Amino acid sequence: MFMAKKMAIANALSPYLSSETLDHALNIWEMKYANQPTFAMQRFISEFLDGSMAGQRSRILQALFLALHNTTPGAEEEKKAAVIAEPVTVYSNMSALRVFSELVERILALSPQNQETRLRLGILDQLGRLKTDEPTRRDLYAWMSQRYPLPAQFRMSQPAMRQFVNQVYVALCEQLGPVKADSVLHEAVVRVEQSSREEFPVRDLL
């Protein structure tokens, strides 16, 4: 799994970095971030990006999130082995959807009021890259732009939910900076854990 993640990171970064900077970035990842959760990637890229690449920060962060959530052949083999060795809990998709919507709403509610409109616009700007069908994308657009509730018939895969939460986090970092974004995300997760009665664990969306 270590090598699969390293290759995924290398492939995500290679379009943006020189070979020398890429080697430096991979060394940093090995030493400090190999065992960190996906959302630590915000701090990771801060260690090797210079000021000349600041405009590409969100693209690089999004590329890393997508790469780490995509299954590689090596990762798939390890996943199959894990399934054989240990039972996997299967959660209701409706439970996951309720936790997903609560998490996103709490992130928005915890953000400064004077930043919420820009945050929503940042989320909408990335919506076209979400790997889901057009009806789902339209419902999400109405939810974020018009603040309409998600309809009763709304459906969304759990990988797409994770990707959308990643996009919310990217927009949050752009508006508030990484330190404040991490704080808002952490507080939102804690509040969902404290209040939700759903069986689906909110941290499975991170």
Per-residue pLDDT tens over the stretch 30-84: 888 888 777 777 778 888 877 666 667 777 887 887 777 664 444 444 444 334 3
Same domain, 201 and 104: yes
Instruction: Give the CA distances from residue 188 to residues 16, 103, 109, 168, 206, in Å, rounded to whole numbers and listed in that order.
Output: 32, 6, 9, 12, 12
Same domain, 50 and 134: no
Same domain, 59 and 120: no
Looking at 85, 102, 122, the residue that finishes a domain is: 85
Same domain, 8 and 53: yes
How confident is the model over 161-179, as a mean pLDDT?
87
Same domain, 101 and 193: yes
Using DSSP's 3-state secondary structure scheme, residue 189 falls into helix
Same domain, 59 and 99: no
Q: Give the count of domains, the chain.
A: 2
Whether the CB-CB separation of 176 and 115 falls below 8 Å is answered with yes
- Does the structure show a pLDDT above 90 at 101? yes
Same domain, 80 and 108: no
Give the structural domain span for 163.
93-205
Looking at 59, 85, 111, the residue that finishes a domain is: 85
Mean pLDDT across the chain: 81
Per-residue pLDDT tens over the stretch 189-204: 999 999 888 889 998 8
pLDDT for position 85: 39
Same domain, 138 and 176: yes
